[in-house]
Structure 1
Amino acid sequence: MARQQVASMLAVALIIGAFASVPTSVQSIGVCYGILGNDLPSSSDVVQLYRSKGINGMRIYSPNKAALDALRGSGISLVLDVGNDKVGELAASPSNAASWVQNNVRPYYPAVNIKYIAVGNEVQGGATQSILPAMRNLNGALAAAGFGSIKVSTSVRFDAIADSYPPSNGVFAQSYMTDIARYLASIGAPLLANVYPYFAYRDNPRDIKLNYATFQPGTTVRDDGNGLTYTNLFDAMVDAIYAALEKAGAPNVRIVVSESGWPSAGGFAASVDNARTYNQGLIDHVGRGTPKRPGALEAYIFAMFNENQKTGDPTERNFGLFYPNKSPVYPIRF
């Protein structure tokens, strides 16, 4: 999960606003299932909790056997990460990718509804050069195994965008993202993006209003570059990524928000009220899409549980919708 968003980039997406708030049903809201805790329920109990709450999408961060076994026959659609430690290996040879598919997809699919495979989550530095060859090798291995309907992508953090204010200025910060965008266009796959208004607000509360960051009314700003108006920071951030995709020559690539959330404790503006307001707002909002791309937007909330073994800021351990005992941190409607 992106935790060190560059303040100047995110401050950038600040004051933007106005999209109609007509309620629509959310077709696909998922929740990320992290397992960095020593007190979490069993995977079978977790899948049962997803189903009981009507959560129809899950993301897991590695091919965890217990989670994959528990998902059999559940109908829950899955974003399956290969794990950042495997990206270089998958990039090294098609045979490595074929082995990965044989070990981690064939035993489960289609009983487990694997929808996307994420080749890396917020990969940084020199390792970014391995993402595209790994995606190519994995896509080829899936096709050879008869699993071509599973879409291969990578999950990026928001600072992959160099200029996000106003959203129409959005452009990729590095050339490797342009190559990835064009490849996604060629295979009909979405770009997975982690979008966190929380970090933008935390890093620039002077210019970004809390109501604008949490889907509450009160701020409306026009983007003269595209003629659109925005009432929330989430839409502004997503549309900045769409603008970057267009500039990269991949205007038809759609975005799947692979993480978004708000912490309930542990730091600035991290409270139960703010977390509930943001996450309920996200659930209620994504069925409408964004001003630039109306229509249902697929999104995954981070995260299902508070994870007591996550490192970093205390907020990292307080993004969960539920405590490990499966009781809700706050009321939420799916």
Structure 2
Amino acid sequence: MRIYSPDHGALAALRRSDIGLILDVGGVDAVRDLASSTAAAAAWVQANVQAYYPDVVIEYIAVGNEVGAGDAGLILPAMRNVHAALAAAGLSGVVRVSTAVKTDVFTNTFPPSSGVFHPDVDQHMVPVARFLADTGSPMLANVYPYFAYRGSPGDISLGYATFQPGGTTVSDGGNGLVYTNLFDAMVDAIYAALEKAGAPGVRVVVSESGWPSAGGFAASVDNARTYNQGLIDHVYRGTPKRPGVLETYVFAMFNENQKPGDATERKFGLFCPDKQPVYPVTFPK
């Protein structure tokens, strides 16, 4: 599970559930506070991690979610302060500190082997990647083939975007790997960027991926079910560059009926706000 701020009601509900958790620190203001003060980071860890761990299995702290380029310089100082606070509490070896990024922090992603951090943020993200390598933490990445497909439907087939077999294949001349779905290509471009940043051992955790069931182009129940079931079935195999289980979080549990912005943003859930399923998916036992 992932929660986007330290909601104490949610954390209390997770006690002794044995559900692994990504715990976000909150919005950019929270990141700014943690970057500016070691005392603030220590207080945050005490109130939101030490007060619940190990009854709540907090695996990762996400210091910022899709922080914009203008605030990217806050990420590493905040991560360092939170990591130091965890270390002081004796938890740095079990609770890892990372940040969740959009795929637009990477560029030259086709073919995947050409992936690199975007020049607008590489001065901040390359040191972040090396910090992750130094601390044994993963890169959290929000990976959405839906938005790539919506932006370039003439260049990307629906089948390639939704894990449908027997359709498009893409060969990467840089390393000879072959891709049968867009998700793998996007993730392997992140791995290529991490290698170029001097952090080849950092693994990727997909902290969000999903497909909307209504509200816009190609947003339908059928496409959402096809994508999410394909995603669930696929990530146990990993990518061509990194075979093996790829830890992945489906976005989202619920349709967010009060969320502002594009209509699709309110329709990514597996369940309606009244807890009725939007469509069925099956998870392996």
What is the letter of the counterpart of residue 125 of structure 1?
A: A
Match of 1:105, SS state, is: helix
Give the whole-Å Cα distance in 1 for the aligned partners of 2:123 and 2:181.
Answer: 29
Can you list the C-alpha shifts for 1:240-264, whole angstroms capped at 9, x where unaligned? 0000000000000000000000000
Give the whole-Å Cα distance in 1 for the aligned partners of 2:101 and 2:278.
Answer: 28
Question: 1:309 Cα deviation (Å)?
Answer: 1.1
Q: 2:254 aligns with which of 292, 299, 305?
A: 305
Does the 8 Å contact 2:257/2:273 carry over to 1?
A: no
Match of 2:100, SS state, is: strand
Runs of 4+ in 1 over 3 A off after TM superposition: none
Q: 1:283 aligns with which of 209, 223, 232?
A: 232
Question: 1:327 Cα deviation (Å)?
Answer: 1.5
Per the alignment, residue 75 of structure 1 pairs with 18
Structure 1 segment 60-99 matched on structure 2, within 5 A: 60-84=3-27, 85-99=29-43
Does the 8 Å contact 2:15/2:56 carry over to 1?
A: yes
Q: 2:95 aligns with which of 150, 159, 162?
A: 150
Question: 1:165 Cα deviation (Å)?
Answer: 0.3
Can you list the C-alpha shifts for 1:15-60, whole angstroms capped at 9, x where unaligned? xxxxxxxxxxxxxxxxxxxxxxxxxxxxxxxxxxxxxxxxxxx000
Over the matched positions of the two proteins, sequence identity in percent amounts to 71
User: Bigger shift: 262-271 or 93-102?
Assistant: 93-102
Structure 1: runs of 5+ lacking an equivalent: 1-57
Question: 1:307 Cα deviation (Å)?
Answer: 0.6
Per the alignment, residue 208 of structure 1 pairs with 156
- 2:193 is the alignment partner of 1:193: no
Question: 1:125 Cα deviation (Å)?
Answer: 2.9
Per the alignment, residue 208 of structure 2 pairs with 259
Give TM-score scaled by structure 1 length: 0.82
- CA RMSD of superposed structures (Å): 0.6
What is the letter of the counterpart of residue 50 of structure 2?
A: R
Structure 1 segment 32-51 matched on structure 2, within 5 A: none
Match of 2:99, SS state, is: strand
Structure 1 segment 171-186 matched on structure 2, within 5 A: 171-173=116-118, 174-186=122-134
Give the whole-Å Cα distance in 2 for the aligned partners of 1:255 and 1:77.
Answer: 16
Match of 1:288, SS state, is: coil
